[in-house]
Structure 1
Amino acid sequence: MLLSHRKRLLELWRIAASYRIDTHFPVEDAAPLQPLARLIRLHPAAWGKKHQPNGIKYALEDMGTLFLKLGQLLSTRRDLVPPNIIDQLIQLQDKVKSFAPEIAIAQIQDPKQGLGLSIDTLFARFDLKPLAAASIAQVHTAALHDGREVVVKVVRPDIRATIITDFELLRELASWVSARIEAARALHIIDLVEDYRQVMLNELDLTLEADNTTKMRNNFLDSALMYVPEVYDAAKNVMVMERIQGVPISQVEVFDQLGYDRAALAEMGLTIFFTQVFRDNFFHADMHPGNVFVETPPVQMLTADMTNVDLGHAPRYIGLDCAIMGTLSKDDQLIVARMLLAVMNNNFSAMVDIVSRAGWIPPSADKHALMRDMSRTVGPMLNKSINEIDFAGVLMQILDIARRHHMSIPPQLMLLLKTLVHVEGLGRDLYPDLDIWSLAKPILSSWIKEQLDPVRNLQQLRGQLPEILLSATDIPKLLDQGLQSLASQGSRQDSQLREIQQLRADMLNDRRRDWLALAGFGITIAAATQVGWFAPIFYIFALLIVVWRILS
């Protein structure tokens, strides 16, 4: 099954052995890791080599983009990963090996996938030393001819082929696992691999990131919570955008020196996330610390006593790297909000009812057993003190129970759960006593109340009413077409034809009553929504419908 990827698997084995990554894990305390450690030691590249400092970081760099992304995800989970490994993974956020500036300039000047102009024409100054280097691209600072300071993001050369190869390998592994493990099928693991493959390939196209950045900037214009830099120019492999003053969210010592309230920053971060998910339905889905910055004063304003420096407003978050963005359908938004609220309220019967109505539970499932498992496993976790609750851990427990009960987890929700893991890790690093429950509950409650507001729903229905009326007029035509099609099939369908003709006659009689009900409902909408000048017209239109249908 994996023979077609033999070369890539051997390469990954060699890299793991070269950096002796087995020496970075407490193998003696983790039985599942022992066979892997023995396999690594068997490779000739490991012979004679001892522990390599930063071996995990260098190994993931050499393995490629997909493994760098995994390291970035784990870098936010101090509760899951030992400190010696976390210290290495944090470096993957913006301290990946850079590529030569000559290659970056060639990418920028490329007429097909770059900006197609010389560096001197594009910039008054271009700094050859990269400001930062990450898994997909590296960033150089520059200045435009009008004096504006910018950053220039350039995609790493020749990484597309490696990403495609690694995802082919992942897909084969997913197919193999899905064929043998029910839990993998319930998670739609093959679909997840395919979805994430497309997400990562999209990340290589900086015109898509530029569009996402502009959209998120518009969502937070004049916001006191977050600032999104302006994009000035973009091509497939290059993006030029406004340079900002800030530091990564992980540099908590800087916030202490500046006198920032870390608790307020952590709460602001969660508010931004829930705002993106529920207000905008457009959320940043790659929120590792290398992508999340906080405003700081310009360098020239800093003094020895940084606590005296005033931004002029409360520090805001800065939205960067909008390559991976998530959205949910309206139905899934409401399901997620109600499900999270039910968990926060320790109401597992309501949660089971919500996922059942969503169609996530098979008909054969024992709902009472599912509710008991949720209450028994997740309930005690929610009764812990605030600084002991692992929100992401609660979600993982829920998913584990869901797998045991053969629930079908929609793939589009997995990106949201991954993002929640990131968000909680960031918030807890910033402020360990972060109370995610008390912050999230009013936000979710308010959003659900707004979605279920009857006046708001009636107003939406009013906007859709012309389409509903037009669709209703097509019913007789569609029914006649169906009758003609049946009639052409010959006498064998005579009995079915007579039944459908009788049904048509019954429907025509019922339609008069339906039109009366529809007209009355329309009048109710007009009255309920108080649509001003539109109401009298609506009344006249509804009455004309009633008269016409009675006489027809």
Structure 2
Amino acid sequence: MVPHLSRLLQLWRIAAHYRLDILVPANELPNKARPILKLIRAHPAAWSSKEKRNPLKLKEALEDMGPLAIKLGQLLSTRRDLIPPEILSQLTLLQDRVKPFDVDVAKTRISEALKADIDTLFARFDDKPLAAASIAQVHTAALHDGREVVVKVTRPHIREQIIQDFEILAWLGQSLEQRLEAARALHLSEIIQDYRSIILNELDLTIEADNTRRMRHYFTGSSMMYVPEVYMDSKDVMVAERITGVPISDTETFDRLGMDRADLAEKGLIIFFTQVFRDNFFHADMHPGNVFVETINPQSPRYIALDCAIMGELSKQDQMTVARMLLAVMNSDFMQLIQIVHQAGWIPPDTDKDALAREMRRTVGPMVSKPMDQLDFAGILLQIMDIARRFRLEIPPQLMLLLKTLVHVEGLGTDLYPQLDIWKLAKPILTEWVKQQMNPVKNVKELGQQIPDLLLGAQDLPSMLIDSLNGLKNQTTWQDRQLREIQNLRLQVAQQQRLNWIFGSFLLILLSIAIISPWFVSIVLIILSVLLSVWRISK
């Protein structure tokens, strides 16, 4: 059964009202997607719509559809190489220029969340929002000690709509998994559930505040990135240090100030790999509205990390697997790549590994050998997903957030400096990290750090040993009882088999005699009937 049919009808009406069917020419869409255009035109809202010539119809449609649609628009806004300029200009506005909600509502929410009046909290509070996004909007203010701050407050009444939309997505994911092997290989339903948790966590600003403090700790004193300080926080409000900078997409400002865009792009990639492998804590929502650059010192600019609501972490095993996979791809060693994937448990036992390696070499090899201005991470990922579908590989859901972030990084890097060689920069970083992880001195040191825990655990060893012996004793008694029962059962089976053999032989003899002498069989059956009656009476 389709969940929330009224919500689906509402989304259909919005798409028809804004005439999204004329956004892209039908001949530029895949054949399977073209019926969607006919469906949009069939809604009565499309017949009387006056939005046909609205230059911002896509932006406004996504705003009306809600936070999840805005998030999708933000993701697509980083793909200048894939999205036509007229559409991209609308999607870019979704990064921080979504329709704001009323300032009086914002002030009420701030006062309730921080349990104080606005005048008590701030010496100045600016009514006009600095930015408005899918989940929250931001106002500038000043504390009573003169510090300039930004106040982030969540939108009212959006949690219910997000939950409802995710229930629709979950239904779509299950439907696709039933019909498409690729969806099953990707664990699409699990990915949707993971992303649901991520988005719902984004509504809790205490989580973002903790993430920001943790990221600030990792990059304290860094010459590459600055993380603002958080002053106050609650579930619906966060007050943080105000920064001065421009979005990473503002290349005109970089050129006007004489910034080295190649150096800036390299810093961005180093920061990303540092987050993934050194800290195992990476920013997973890297659209231009969340990544700024300082303009105070154009000769040595730093990145500024904002909106640390969606962060990613990997297990140690997944970290090592990803690093070794990337190195194998960079070295075009696809047999090694298959071996790594096999060790990670992603390949079914009956898979033809040689055929898989040939397919990876044929499709992915030429793509990764291209220069950065021709490299397409999204295309590479799609090829890998297609190979995973055909060879029934299972990609863990926890890595999908990293893959999504890689798409963001590619979009930002291509926009900032198209000639950047990501492979050349990443290879020494990954090689050094893998060497450190394999360093025996480091492993012994880590073991030494665990000795106190091992010694504390050793205190419980005698009682654990006694419990284990008692358990073994009880298990032995149980096994002996089970063995006797099995032996009795075997004996009964053997006796039954003998009776069956005797009865079968008797029937066979009786049948043979019946063929030769029917009257003799009749006499035998009469005698058996009499004996059976006597036996029953005696019982």
1:372 aligns with 2:358: yes
CA deviation map 1:363-409 (0-9, x unaligned): 11111111011000011112323321223422332232122211111
- Whether the 8 Å contact between 1:23 and 1:51 is mirrored in structure 2 is no
Matching of residue 393 in structure 1 with residue 379 in structure 2: yes
Corresponding residue of 1:24: 23
Query: Which among 64, 76, 80 is matched to residue 66 of structure 2?
Result: 64
> Are residue 251 (structure 1) and residue 250 (structure 2) matched?
yes
Paired residues of 1:281 and 1:327 also in contact (CA < 8 A): yes
For residue 432 of structure 1, what is the aligned residue in structure 2?
418
> Match of 1:52?
54
Determine if contact 2:372/2:414 at 8 Å carries over to the other structure. Answer: no
Q: Measure the CA separation in 2 of the matches of 1:468 and 1:220.
A: 32
CA distance in structure 1 between the aligned counterparts of 2:110 and 2:371, rounded to whole angstroms: 52
The whole-number CA distance in structure 2 between the counterparts of 1:385 and 1:140 is 42
Distance in 2 between the 1:265 and 1:381 partners? 25
> In structure 2, what is the equivalent of residue 500 of structure 1?
none
Alignment of structure 1 residues 136-151 onto 2, 5 Å: 136-151=135-150
Aligned to 2:347: 361
Give yes or no for the alignment of 1:261 onto 2:256.
no
Cα 1:490/1:129, change in 2 over 3 Å: closer
Match of 1:477 in 2: 466
* 2:517 alignment partner in structure 1: none
SS at match of 1:150: strand
Displacement of 1:466? 5.5
Distance in 2 separating the partners of 1:395 and 1:33: 21
Identify the residue that residue 221 of structure 1 maps to in structure 2.
220
Question: What TM-score, normalized to structure 1?
Answer: 0.84
- What is the SS of the residue equivalent to 2:450? helix
Specify every segment of 5 or more residues in structure 1 that has no aligned partner in the other structure, as ranges: 298-309, 497-552
Amino acid across the alignment from 1:272: I
Distance apart, 1:325 and its partner CA = 0.4
1:32 aligns to what SS in structure 2? helix
Deviations 1:19-47 (A, max 9, x none): 00111112122223321111111111110
Secondary structure at 2:179 match in 1: coil
CA deviation after TM superposition for structure 1 residue 461, in Å: 1.9
- State the 1:493 CA deviation: 3.9
1:191 aligns with 190
State the shift of 1:353 in Å: 0.2
Question: Does the 8 Å contact 1:220/1:226 carry over to 2?
Answer: yes
How far the C-alpha of 1:172 sits from its partner, in A, is 1.1
Contact 2:220 2:226 in 1 (8 A): yes
Deviation at 1:486, TM superposition (A): 1.9
Q: CA deviation at 1:473?
A: 4.3
Q: Could you say which residue in structure 1 is the equivalent of 2:39?
A: 39
Give the match for residue 90 of structure 1. 92
Aligned residues: 480
Q: Is the 8 A contact 1:487 1:493 kept in 2?
A: no
User: In 2 relative to 1, CA 115–387 (structure 1 residues): closer, same or farther, beyond 3 Å?
Assistant: same
Verify the 8 A CA contact 1:486 1:493 in the aligned structure 2: no
Distance in 2 (alpha carbons) for counterparts of 1:63 and 1:490: 64
Deviation at 1:490, TM superposition (A): 6.5
- Distance of aligned partners of 1:444 and 1:392 in 2 relative to their CA distance in 1, 3 Å threshold: farther
Q: Which runs of 5+ in 2 are unaligned?
A: 486-539
Summarize the Cα distance change of 1:495–1:374 in structure 2 as closer, same or farther, 3 Å threshold: farther
Amino acid at match of 1:40: I
Aligned CA distance change for structure 1 residues 495 and 186 (closer, same or farther; 3 Å): farther
Cα deviation for residue 83 of structure 1 reads 1.8
Equivalent position of 1:233 in the other structure: 232
- Could you give the per-residue CA deviations for residues 488-527 of structure 1, whole angstroms, max 9, x where no partner exists? 426434599xxxxxxxxxxxxxxxxxxxxxxxxxxxxxxx
The aligned counterpart of 1:270 is 269
Residue pair 1:387, 1:434 contacting (<8 A) in 2 also = yes
Tell me, yes or no, if the aligned pair for 2:186 and 2:396 is still in contact at 8 Å.
Answer: yes
Q: Check whether the contact 2:135–2:154 (CA below 8 A) recurs between aligned residues.
A: yes
Kept after mapping to 2: 8 A contact 1:132/1:140: yes
Correspondences of 1:93-132 after superposition (within 5 Å): 93-110=95-112, 114-132=113-131
Aligned to 1:346: 332
Q: CA deviation at 1:188?
A: 1.2
Q: Which amino acid aligns with 1:64?
A: G
Indicate conservation of the 8 Å contact 1:286/1:324, yes or no: yes
**Counterparts of 2:279 and 2:42, CA distance in 1:** 52
- Superposed CA deviations along residues 344-375 of structure 1, whole A, max 9, x for unmatched, are 11111011000100111111111111101100
Residues 288 and 412, structure 2, Cα contact 8 Å, conserved in 1:
yes
Change over 3 Å in CA distance of 1:486–1:281 after alignment to 2: same
Contact 2:371–2:421 (Cα < 8 Å) also in 1: no
One-letter amino acid of the counterpart of residue 377, structure 2:
F
Q: CA RMSD in A?
A: 1.8
Distance in 2 separating the partners of 1:360 and 1:189? 16
Q: Is the contact made by 1:20 and 1:51 (CA closer than 8 Å) also made in structure 2?
A: no
Q: State the distance in 2 between where 1:468 and 1:407 align.
A: 38
Tell me the amino acid that sits aligned with residue 14 of structure 1.
Answer: R
Q: Taking structure 1 as reference, are residues 255 and 490 closer, same or farther at Cα in structure 2, changes over 3 Å only?
A: closer
SS state at 1:336 partner: helix
- State the one-letter code of the partner of 2:481: R
Query: Structure 1 residues 47-56 or 131-140, which shifts more?
Result: 47-56
Structure 2 counterpart SS, 1:69: helix
| Structure 1 counterpart of 2:513 | none
CA distance in 1, matches of 2:218, 2:479: 61
Contact 2:320 2:434 in 1 (8 A): yes
Percentage of identical aligned residues: 62
Give the match's secondary structure for 1:138. Answer: strand
- 8 Å contact 1:186–1:409 — kept in the other structure? yes
Q: 1:221 Cα shift?
A: 0.4
8 Å CA contact 2:371, 2:419 repeated in 1: no
Give how far 1:479 is off: 4.2
The within-5 A match list for 1:405-424 is 405-424=391-410
CA shift in 2, pair 1:458/1:88, >3 Å: same
Aligned to 2:524: none
Equivalent residue in structure 2 for 1:446, among 424, 432, 452: 432
Q: Return closer, same or farther for 1:495/1:337 CA change in 2, 3 Å cut-off.
A: farther
1:460 counterpart residue number? 446
d(CA) in 2 for partners of 1:191, 1:28: 34
Matched residue of 1:73: which SS? Answer: helix
The letter for the 2-side match of 1:486 is: Q
Aligned equivalents of 1:392, 1:345: Cα separation in 2: 20
1:378 aligned partner, one-letter code: V
Determine which structure has more spread, i.e. the larger CA radius of gyration.
2
Within a 5 Å distance, the mapping from 1:201-220 to structure 2 comes to 201-220=200-219
Alpha-carbon displacement from aligned partner over 1:174-195 (angstroms, at most 9, x marks no partner): 1122222222122111111111
